[in-house]
Amino acid sequence: MQAAIDQSPHLRFRAGMDDKSCYVATGLSLAAILLVLHRLVVRAGGKGNAAARRLPPSPPAVPFLGHLHLLASECPLHSSLARLAARHGPVLSLRLGSRAAVVVSSPECAEACFTEHDVAFANRPRLTSQALASFGGAALAVSSYGPYWRNLRRVAAVRLLSTHRVACMCPVISAEVRAMLRRVGRAAEAAGRVQLKASLFELSLSVLMETIAQTKTSRADDADDAVSPEAHEFRRIVDEILPYLGATNLWDYLPLLRRFDVLGVRNKIRDVVGRRDAFLQRLIDAERRRLDGDGDGDEKKSMIAVMLSLQKSEPDVYTDTMIMALCGNLFTAGTETTSSTIEWAMSLLLNHPEALKKAEAEIEAAVGASRLITMDDVPGLGYLQCVINETLRLYPVAPLLLPHESAADCTVGGYDVPRGTLLFVNAYAIHRDPAAWEEPDEFRPERFRDGKAEGRLMLPFGMGRRRCPGETLALRTAGLVLATLIQCFHWDRIDGAEIDMTESGGLTMPRAVPLEATCKPREAMRHVLQQL
């Protein structure tokens, strides 16, 4: 009987096609539904456009999907959009599945969005992936514009990330920089070359662990420069959750993908979010046990301790969920961005040895080799500040910022932007606008000397009401770390080969290939390094 079945071509064909026919049937069903939805949208749009709105120009679109193919391209989205802007103009209209979007790529239009229309664009879109990853939209970066966001922003700006609070973090940052120097020094002595990405991420996370939760990251007494299990755990969480945030998650724009979730995105987000929430809750519980209410000023308390103090007076406002949402936001936003900025800066300096020599000479003249550079020294290093500014111009930490959403009809660049439209501001394109910057693709730190670049729009941390409140902490940390690496070590390219400057895509803009360079302690600094 089995032989007869095996010999039956009809049955063999049917058995072999069971799985394929299932996929084909599913695909045809989805296509049919998309066709119906598309026709309904077109009809509704035709009725709604009776008033003859002047919408921004739009590049050719794919039926049903609109311009979602741009998000799925191997080319980073910010680069694709910059090329489209060069062809179609600085204000573009896109259709991302079920959502309408506008992309702004000129300084004038971007400035108008965050000044004249700042209130209209102060809202964030309710993207499903972000809601799942941000406590239902409770995180500062993605929460809706309103009383809740204003209170959270005030707490972050005044109680947690003020200039005074950041100054109080200097001893913590300096201690973590010394630990990083020990790690880099050991790697240099062992192999003669180092990969900076891991060390920079660990430093950024360790600084936040101590300032947010007053946690020493469980380092062993005999190896206090070792990276903690907590740091490794959160790095895995950040690496897993970032791809689902920002503008490039197709799942957010296709309701059918979310409904059937054939890709399992919902479960993947819930899994990583569950691990993140458990991590944050452990920090809160530990800080609650440690908090003794001894009346110390806020500057002596961790960020969580400050929030728990507020919780005692207003428990309905400062819930554990709110505290987790804020702290989780600070962790995610403050690790990858700061470490990537320093890595890009070192990459640029290695590809431009003359600029590296200028930075070395400035530090030698201002600080010398008898001690480590301190946070107080950094503001006086004018050329170093130019290097950081030029790095942020060429490689902004969030090339498309975070998406905004129009809360009211408005006009941008002479075009109508209807209510409910997503807004993407291409900081990457604005920073490389040839109308504003001479030789915009060239690394020239001198363009920021003596206020020469004053008046030109820079958006590495956003602008307007939704500007990043962690800007001061990020800049101070990046300045001290970069200056210390230059002061303590001699850096060079491996075999003299040019550093690959290929960009990766996503919410942030990390290097596609982690930076690796030769490194050895400077002879003049050996005695200082030996005392760490």
Q: Give pLDDT tens digits for 350-397.
A: 999 999 999 999 999 999 999 999 999 999 999 999 999 999 999 999
Closest CA to 78 of 484, 337, 455, 398: 398
Tell me the C-alpha to C-alpha distance, in Å, between residue 68 and each of 36, 63, 244, 378, 398. Answer: 19, 10, 15, 44, 20
Q: Are 96 and 71 in contact (CB under 8 A)?
A: yes
Residues in contact with 424: Cβ distance below 8 Å, sequence separation at least 6, in sequence order: 81, 101, 102, 103, 104, 247, 400, 401, 403, 404
Q: Which residues pair with 104 in a beta bridge?
A: 91, 425
Give the span between the Cα atoms of 338 and 37, in whole angstroms: 43
Q: What percent of the chain has pLDDT over 90?
A: 64
- Residue 281: the pLDDT is 93
Give the span between the Cα atoms of 425 and 416, in whole angstroms: 16
Q: Which of the residue ranges 73-77, 259-263, 284-288, 342-346 has the most confident prediction, judged by mean pLDDT?
A: 342-346
pLDDT digits (tens, 9 = 90+) for 292-329: 656 555 557 899 999 999 999 999 999 999 999 999 99
Concatenate the DSSP letters of all residues of 245-305 into one string: SSS--GGGT-HHHHHH-TT-HHHHHHHHHHHHHHHHHHHHHHHHHH-------GGGS-HHH
Closest CA to 444 of 390, 377, 522, 513: 390
Give the span between the Cα atoms of 521 and 192, in whole angstroms: 10
- Residue 293: the pLDDT is 57
Please provide residue 245's backbone torsions phi and psi, each rounded to the nearest 5 degrees.
-105, 165
- Residue 142: the pLDDT is 93
CATH topology assigned to domain 53-530:
Cytochrome p450 (1.10.630)
pLDDT digits (tens, 9 = 90+) for 91-113: 999 999 989 999 999 999 999 99
Please provide residue 101's backbone torsions phi and psi, each rounded to the nearest 5 degrees.
-140, 155
- Which tokens go with 135? 């406590």
Model confidence at 345, in pLDDT bands (50, 70, 90)? very high
Quote the mean pLDDT of the chain: 86
- Residue 297: the pLDDT is 56
Model confidence at 17, in pLDDT bands (50, 70, 90)? very low
Mean pLDDT, rounded, for 69-85: 89
Give the span between the Cα atoms of 332 and 134, in whole angstroms: 11
What is the residue extent of each domain of the chain?
Answer: 2-50, 53-530
Q: Which residues pair with 308 in a beta bridge?
A: none
Give the span between the Cα atoms of 100 and 88, in whole angstroms: 17
Largest Cα separation within the chain, whole Å, is 92
pLDDT digits (tens, 9 = 90+) for 266-276: 999 999 999 99
Residue 327 marked in a binding site: no
Q: Would the pLDDT of 336 be above 50? A: yes
Q: Are 50 and 373 in contact (CB under 8 A)?
A: no
Provide the residue type at 308 as one letter.
L
Q: Are 88 and 80 in contact (CB under 8 A)?
A: no
Q: Would the pLDDT of 519 be above 80? A: yes
Q: Report H helices in 371-470.
A: 382-394, 427-431
Residue 355's Cβ-count burial label (10 Å; 0-12, 13-18, 19+) is buried
Mean pLDDT, rounded, for 418-438: 96
pLDDT digits (tens, 9 = 90+) for 141-200: 999 999 999 999 999 999 899 999 999 999 999 999 999 999 899 888 887 889 998 889
